[in-house]
Structure 1
């Protein structure tokens, strides 16, 4: 349906009817159609790599192919640059899966512009309209489905479900409220005791960030941490945690409680060039010894960091702050990482601990990890220990630190003092 026309109803580059035409001519009967929202994945990369002239030719060829596939079975519209809409009449509802699959497969084929072969990937969202739908809501729902397709893995198609929009709204609400969380004093830290087997003492704890919002209630870290990572708010939140931990260490010192605190550090914090300088400033400003703090870092995030980050880690270790390799065994080439990554300690992932009493292969693996770590001069923590049988096995393998519900759940700062007093008595 390519039309060469400079009228306001047409997209100048592709000749397709545009969004203005769509809204003026289909607002009253949008509920007679199935809305298909298409987005070319990484089109910016094509422009940046080959230039805008090639990018424009690519779009023209893409649109010719799209229009040919749809034919007279539907209507194609240019929505916004590399985004397109297709309306299929509802009377062909039974064929919609077949049509979308055909679109998906044919549009993935390579497009040749001059002597350049460009691989094409698209994400598609499909919304089957309902009786009282307004056109902007129908398009929005198709776009939400498309975004869900992109978020899963680019080059997919997804049918709209109400649950998707509900999750999107939940995420938007979390983001809005999260940005106010520090000013409102809604963030707080729980501390999970770590048992040092030698001497049967609690000498360190792990700081675990929590959030209680006046509108959303208690929000799980599984929900809010990824959103903080995605938006960059993790940087501000991370410094708040370090500041709060330093304050707490000083409070415990006043009560003659000598505890080290482990802090989880995220990949995005590593990307912040000022992170390590700010860390040193906060610790010194609070008059806390660097040796009182430990960073927990996952294997996978280390390999995504730059060489400068590794240098900073070495500098931090020289100051006295230990580096713990968290979730050990969950990443790739774990044994190799013990040698390549600068660290003081490894933390065996809970997935192994769950099977330590059930699987001899897992038992042998854990024993080997602990033995190798000790030979390299590293301490070993087992996390997620929930039962005495697991605890006993770990003692058998000479694991020197134990963390998990068998020792204690994460508890508040005041409860830490009570917990340690109970154990010592």
Structure 2
């Protein structure tokens, strides 16, 4: 393994698992190893100290044993008949001979006979010079009886052991003294019995301490003179640590005798060191086994994780089709892989499948289109339903969803024998669908377009209603119309909207269609800049009271004065503003302008009330009430002079939230009106609970009421219900005198329409209102006679 590879492996999860676990094991093992080592050293030193203490007692026993041997020999000499006769006869030569014989027999270094006053009577031929310290000691202890046990005496620099026994014949006549020079035999005996080394140290009076004999090498024993005088001690000699015990054996008039018992610490712990070596070998072997096991475990853990990482990369690259195989194991990794695959499937469905219809969505369609383009010619059909908005408004969104589902089922059921499973039907957005036809030329694609239109000819049953389904469809073929998925979809959409505009059923893409589409897109892009450049204009359409023709209010409407395109009709930008959510910005602009006008017109009594339309997007905005109140306060306008018109469909989109917003607006003081009433699907029970003041009848009923009796009956019914609920009624779309009179007969309160006046600029409306007030028109005056031209 190279160094970069090793570094990469150490940074991996497997490497970290092995490294951490192995480090923990080694830390525990080393901690245990050093704890055991410390315990062994402490235990060995404790045992060694105990062994030295026992050795000290053993040394005393050996000295006692030697003393007993001397005492027995001295007692035998004192009791010998011949020795006593020689003493009694005064024959000194015989006495000296007897002393030499007995001393030689037991190996004594000194043998002598002392008087009762410890003066020398006779001595052997050797070691008589050693008697002086003994005699001096006995003389110093005058008045006490000498002990028959051995005593150590320093003679020169050499230690001697003496015993003194009484000489009786039959009364005490003197003392028999016998002594040994303490030699290295004592140390050897001690070493054989205890394993300890011994050294004897002497310190004559006035002389330094020196080693007189030792069982250790001079390089070691020479350091004994530096040790404390008594007790345990430890020192280093060369590369060896030694524990020692210093004992004072004797203190005589000639000096002191000390013994040092010692043993090597390394020698004492050597057996334990071998045990430690075995433990270290077991630790290393365990570390190797653990490392191998950790690597195997880490690989067993990381292999499925690596598979999940690879799967994540595939998902990141957009491959949601390849399933994730769970590892063949019954543990958390298997559960993780199963959960991960479930997440992949859910994500795939959300990314590539439409929640409502189950068809592929735009993302999946684009992906499959890209793959089909790599294989050869492709045709794409894109269609948009015509009546989904009416179904949502009149029958409800639930019925609209059912319509989309049935359309999806019809499209998915289409057969293209030449394509088989390669054909794909997708839902691109709300009511837009697309059909992918790989491998088809233009003629075959046109035949398929006709088949799609034919499939949509049959009405769809939604509850008790039968709904005719119609659609506009665009056709593009590759490579004729492009080679990129986005370009093909864009051009199919252009052809589709052109087909809807022409009501042609379906159209193949033509480059000439792009001009109008580009103009529309450019128009949408300029809407936000229109606010900043003050290109928007406020138009006003008046409302009159039906009984006396009094000016009771007006409706504020937005228009766009484009610097290049002129006055842009509302139908060209309002629907797109609603689709993009920009309608809320337009609504706030209208509210701001209306508040400014109310603040100017209110004091002069020009206009009692001004109405402003609110969209569904406005009702869903949490800050609507705050924004509206701030603008009224800024301009000093009264909330009571502002009427807010909301469509039925906007209220029923989210009734609970809409009700909360309406209650807040009502609490602010604004008048509330339901616009386009009769085209939605709210019930009268719902209407009863809404905090509204006014119903506005949709112009689709008002315009035809003089010719269509059913529409007149609907208008009558709405007026009666509204009055029963204490609501005023406004009819819009009043375009002639006959409708005006008919509404007045039915008891309608207010009217609005071209018969009264078209939407006009603010300046024109002011002039119109002032002229009307100056003319002092009577209640019977015909409103149409005083309309301004469109």
Deviation, structure 1 residue 171: 2.7
What residue number does 2:379 align with?
35
1:344 is matched with which residue: 669, 675, 693?
A: 693
Deviations along 1:41-84, one digit per CA (max 9) or x if unpaired, are xxxxxxxxxxxxxxxxxxxxxxxxx9996269x999xxxxxx99
Which whole-Å CA distance do the structure 2 matches of 1:370 and 1:263 have between them? 22
1:140 is matched with which residue: 481, 487, 499?
A: 487
What residue number does 2:594 align with?
245
Which whole-Å CA distance do the structure 1 matches of 2:636 and 2:629 have between them? 11
Note the 1:134-213 alignment, pairs <5 A: 134-136=482-484, 140-145=487-492, 160-162=508-510, 165-213=514-562
Deviation, structure 1 residue 380: 0.5
Deviation, structure 1 residue 199: 4.0
8 Å Cα contact 1:348/1:382 also seen in 2:
yes
Q: Say whether 1:420 aligns with 2:777.
A: no
What residue number does 2:353 align with?
none
Q: Say whether 1:88 aligns with 2:439.
A: yes
SS of the residue corresponding to residue 692 of structure 2 reads coil
Deviation, structure 1 residue 221: 1.0
SS of the residue corresponding to residue 343 of structure 1 reads coil
Root-mean-square deviation (Å): 4.1
Deviation, structure 1 residue 147: 8.4
Deviations along 1:101-130, one digit per CA (max 9) or x if unpaired, are 88999xxxxxxxxxxxxxxxxx99631468
Which whole-Å CA distance do the structure 2 matches of 1:273 and 1:149 have between them? 37
Q: Say whether 1:219 aligns with 2:568.
A: yes
More helix by share: 2
Deviation, structure 1 residue 34: 4.8
SS of the residue corresponding to residue 601 of structure 2 reads helix
Q: Say whether 1:286 aligns with 2:635.
A: yes
Which whole-Å CA distance do the structure 2 matches of 1:260 and 1:249 have between them? 8
SS of the residue corresponding to residue 717 of structure 2 reads helix
1:126 is matched with which residue: 465, 475, 484?
A: 475
Which whole-Å CA distance do the structure 2 matches of 1:303 and 1:12 have between them? 41
Which whole-Å CA distance do the structure 2 matches of 1:364 and 1:175 have between them? 41
TM, length-normalised to structure 1: 0.71
Deviation, structure 1 residue 228: 1.0
Q: Say whether 1:400 aligns with 2:744.
A: no
Which whole-Å CA distance do the structure 2 matches of 1:214 and 1:260 have between them? 32
Q: Say whether 1:296 aligns with 2:296.
A: no
What residue number does 2:760 align with?
411
Query: Number of paired residues?
Result: 356
Which whole-Å CA distance do the structure 2 matches of 1:86 and 1:13 have between them? 23
Which whole-Å CA distance do the structure 1 matches of 2:537 and 2:476 have between them? 41
8 Å Cα contact 2:379/2:440 also seen in 1:
no
SS of the residue corresponding to residue 532 of structure 2 reads coil
**Aligned pair in 2 of structure 1 residues 17, 397: CA closer, same or farther (>3 Å)?**
closer
Deviation, structure 1 residue 227: 1.1
2:585 is matched with which residue: 223, 236, 253?
A: 236
Which whole-Å CA distance do the structure 1 matches of 2:622 and 2:526 have between them? 27
8 Å Cα contact 1:37/1:142 also seen in 2:
no
8 Å Cα contact 1:177/1:213 also seen in 2:
no
Which whole-Å CA distance do the structure 1 matches of 2:544 and 2:368 have between them? 68
8 Å Cα contact 1:193/1:205 also seen in 2:
yes
What residue number does 2:714 align with?
365
Deviation, structure 1 residue 359: 2.6
What residue number does 2:154 align with?
none
SS of the residue corresponding to residue 355 of structure 1 reads coil
Deviation, structure 1 residue 204: 0.7
SS of the residue corresponding to residue 380 of structure 2 reads strand
Note the 1:318-397 alignment, pairs <5 A: 318-333=667-682, 335-397=684-746
Which whole-Å CA distance do the structure 2 matches of 1:240 and 1:318 have between them? 22
Deviations along 1:124-178, one digit per CA (max 9) or x if unpaired, are 96314686x5534x8624444268879x99xxx9654347644532331111111
8 Å Cα contact 2:378/2:436 also seen in 1:
no
**Aligned pair in 2 of structure 1 residues 158, 165: CA closer, same or farther (>3 Å)?**
farther
Deviations along 1:348-388, one digit per CA (max 9) or x if unpaired, are 11111112211333323322221221121000111010100
**Aligned pair in 2 of structure 1 residues 296, 11: CA closer, same or farther (>3 Å)?**
closer
8 Å Cα contact 1:144/1:160 also seen in 2:
no
TM, length-normalised to structure 2: 0.40
SS of the residue corresponding to residue 589 of structure 2 reads helix
SS of the residue corresponding to residue 212 of structure 1 reads strand
SS of the residue corresponding to residue 207 of structure 1 reads strand
Deviation, structure 1 residue 275: 1.1
8 Å Cα contact 1:75/1:88 also seen in 2:
no
Which whole-Å CA distance do the structure 2 matches of 1:143 and 1:289 have between them? 49
Q: Which stretch of the first structure deviates more once superposed, 214-223 or 186-195?
A: 214-223
Which whole-Å CA distance do the structure 1 matches of 2:653 and 2:318 have between them? 42
Which whole-Å CA distance do the structure 1 matches of 2:318 and 2:450 have between them? 26
Which whole-Å CA distance do the structure 2 matches of 1:12 and 1:372 have between them? 59
Deviations along 1:394-424, one digit per CA (max 9) or x if unpaired, are 1111111111111111112122222123223
What residue number does 2:109 align with?
none
Q: Which stretch of the first structure deviates more once superposed, 384-393 or 235-244?
A: 235-244
**Aligned pair in 2 of structure 1 residues 297, 86: CA closer, same or farther (>3 Å)?**
same
8 Å Cα contact 1:299/1:337 also seen in 2:
no
SS of the residue corresponding to residue 249 of structure 1 reads helix
Which whole-Å CA distance do the structure 2 matches of 1:21 and 1:304 have between them? 40
Which whole-Å CA distance do the structure 2 matches of 1:280 and 1:397 have between them? 37
Which whole-Å CA distance do the structure 2 matches of 1:359 and 1:88 have between them? 53
Which whole-Å CA distance do the structure 2 matches of 1:75 and 1:369 have between them? 51
Which whole-Å CA distance do the structure 1 matches of 2:698 and 2:452 have between them? 43
Q: Say whether 1:312 aligns with 2:661.
A: yes
Structure having the higher Rg: 2
